[in-house]
Every structure is written in C-alpha cells, then in structure tokens.
C-alpha cells in the first residue's frame, strides 16, 4: 500500500519533467501523443537564437555573482552564529533566514517599489543580483552552519597556539576544512539564482534572464518544442550541479570524521 503510494507520488512529481526530453526530441510541432519522429532540430534552433544566448549570458553572470556574494555572507553569518555570542544574535540570524519563508513575489514587488519609485534607479542586473543574494544567503548560511558546527574549535586554537595569526589560521585551517561546504553553498546558490523566475521577471529591465526569456517564448506556440529542448538542458544541468553540491557536502563530513545526519538535499 505504502509502496503504491510512493510510486504514485513520484509519478506526479517527476512525470512532467520526464516529458520534457520526450518532446524535445520529437519532430512534431504540436505537444501531443502519438510522437512523430526523432529530431535534433529544436536543439539546433537553440544554437542559432541570439536573444537566447544573451539571456543565458545574463543568467550566468547573475548566478555567478549571486553565488559568490551569498556564500561569502553565509561564511560570515555561519561563523558568527556558531563561534560567537553577542547581543541580538538570535534576532540577527533569524532575519537572515526569513527570506526562506517570505513569498518571492513580495520580495520582488517591494524591491521594485524601492528601486523604481523611491530611489528612481533603472532596473538592471544589479537589482536582480541584490534580490537573489537575499534569497540565496539563507541556503548558503544553513549549509555553512553545518560546516562550522562540524569544525572542532580547538583546531583553530591549536593553530594560534602554534604561532599563527587569526588570518593565517583562517587560511591554513578553517578554509580548507570548510571548503566542501563552501563549494556546496556556491553550487546551490548558483542553481537557485539560475532557475529563479518571479523576482527576475519583475526586476529585469531590458536584460532578461533565461527563465524570463523562456516565459516570453511561450507566447509563440511554434517555439514550444524549442522550450522543451532548452528545459531538457536546464534539468540536466541543475541535477548535475545539485549532485556535485551533495557530493561535496558528504566529502566534507567524511573529512571532518562525523556521521551523516541527513543532508540538506
């Protein structure tokens, strides 16, 4: 009974995604069964669509910058949270995590109001990056929290005891030991930013991101198989990145010599 339940559940969850590659390689222009024949035409079309390439470049830049900033903030927040006591600590750490439960549309609309109405700035990739950092930092912080919790504080003290300064201790001991967490945080932030639609939709001016560009393609039924091809590539990429992140996290645990207490993923 339970098994049937799980199978139905998984089917609902993943069947639509499995349909992506099916239609991406189908030569018919209409998304319907029965299938026509095999083609790589839709992928070829992707290769020559210039607007798409621009959107991809925009997305990659935004995702990369977002990942670096979120991870740096995550390192700082996690280190402060795990190692130090200070007044207002719980409130500060709580606020960092709020975007996890905040509807993205709220973030998007309020940032739009601030940037356009109040500050009078133009929308740019910078505004999207700012918003993406906001939603990615909680994830980075959560991952790095685990890294710092698994790091025995006496390792850092031992390095200082043996004559190293605080900064060289961070470089020689802390950084190498939390590196798997940093890589995982980078990859996850990158993936979240790359896939994010609502915020990018509201805040992108003349420079659409990939998800926004895909959405705009949907208005042309002719292009739907192309979207399917693009979607296939994105799914494969996302799965790849998340797998790398998880491998990196597990390697970190092994290196720290602790038991796996259930992953972030």
Partner 1 sequence: MSLISIENVHKHYGDYHALRDINLEVGQGEFFSLLGPSGCGKTTLLRTIAGFEDVSSGQVRIGGASMIGVPANQRPTNMVFQSYAIFPHMSVAENVGFGLRKSSLSGAEKATAVGEALEMVGLNGFGARAAHALSGGQRQRVALARALILKPKVLLLDEPLSALDKKMREQMQSELRRLQRQVGITFILVTHDQEEALIMSDRIAVMFDGKIAQLDPPPQLYTRPANRQVAEFIGVMTFLPGNRRADTLEVAGLGHVTLSPDQIIGAEGDVRVGLRPESMTILFDDMAAEPSNRVAQGTVEDLAYYGDMTMYEVRLAGAPRPVTVSMRNLPGRPVLARGDAARVVWDPAALMAFGPVD
Using CB under 8 A, list all residues that contact partner 1.
Answer: 152, 154-155, 157-165, 173, 176-177, 255-257
At 36, which helix (H) or strand (E)?
A: none
CA distances from 68 to 3, 16, 74, 133, 182 (A): 42, 32, 10, 9, 10
Q: Cβ closer to partner 1: 47 or 162?
A: 162
Helices 210-217 and 50-83 sit at what angle, rounded to 10 degrees? 140
Q: Specify the DSSP class assigned to residue 26.
A: B
Q: Cβ closer to partner 1: 159 or 217?
A: 159
CB-based contacts of 114: which residues, under 8 Å, 6+ apart?
Answer: none
Q: Cβ closer to partner 1: 1 or 162?
A: 162
Asked whether 217 and 209 are in contact (CB, 8 A), the reply is: no
Helices 125-149 and 50-83 sit at what angle, rounded to 10 degrees? 40
Query: What is the number of H-type helices and E-type strands within the chain?
Result: 12, 0
CB of 168 to partner 1, least distance (A): 8
Sign for the pseudo-dihedral over CA of 91, 92, 93, 98: positive
**In terms of Cα–Cα distance, which of 37, 21, 217 is closest to 29?**
37
Q: Cβ closer to partner 1: 53 or 254?
A: 254
CB of 93 to partner 1, least distance (A): 20
CB of 259 to partner 1, least distance (A): 14
CB of 240 to partner 1, least distance (A): 26
CB of 81 to partner 1, least distance (A): 19
CB of 256 to partner 1, least distance (A): 7
Q: Cβ closer to partner 1: 99 or 252?
A: 252
Q: Cβ closer to partner 1: 122 or 157?
A: 157
């Amino acid at each position: 009974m339970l098994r049937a339940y799980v199978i139905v559940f998984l089917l609902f969850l993943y069947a639509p995604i499995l349909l992506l590659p099916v239609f991406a390689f189908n030569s018919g222009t209409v998304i319907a069964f029965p299938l026509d024949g095999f083609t790589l035409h839709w992928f070829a079309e992707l290769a020559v669509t210039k607007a798409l390439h621009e959107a991809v470049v925009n997305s990659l830049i935004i995702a990369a910058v977002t990942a670096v900033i979120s991870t740096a903030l995550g390192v700082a927040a996690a280190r402060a949270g795990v190692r130090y006591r200070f007044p207002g600590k719980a409130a500060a750490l709580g606020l960092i995590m709020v975007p996890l439960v905040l509807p993205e549309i709220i973030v998007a609309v309020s940032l739009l109001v601030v940037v356009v109405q109040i500050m009078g700035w133009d929308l740019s990739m910078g505004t999207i990056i700012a918003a993406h950092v906001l939603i990615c930092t909680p994830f980075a912080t959560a991952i790095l929290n685990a890294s710092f919790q698994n790091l025995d504080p006496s390792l850092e003290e031992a390095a200082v005891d043996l004559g190293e300064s605080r900064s060289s201790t961070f470089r020689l001991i802390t950084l190498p030991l939390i590196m798997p967490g940093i890589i995982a945080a980078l990859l996850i932030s990158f993936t979240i930013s790359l896939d994010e639609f609502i915020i990018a939709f509201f805040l992108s001016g003349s420079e659409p991101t990939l998800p926004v560009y895909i959405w705009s393609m949907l208005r042309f039924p002719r292009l739907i198989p192309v979207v399917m091809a693009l979607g296939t590539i994105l799914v494969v990429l996302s799965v790849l990145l998340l797998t790398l992140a998880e491998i990196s996290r597990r390697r970190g645990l092994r290196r720290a010599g602790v038991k796996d207490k259930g992953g972030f993923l």
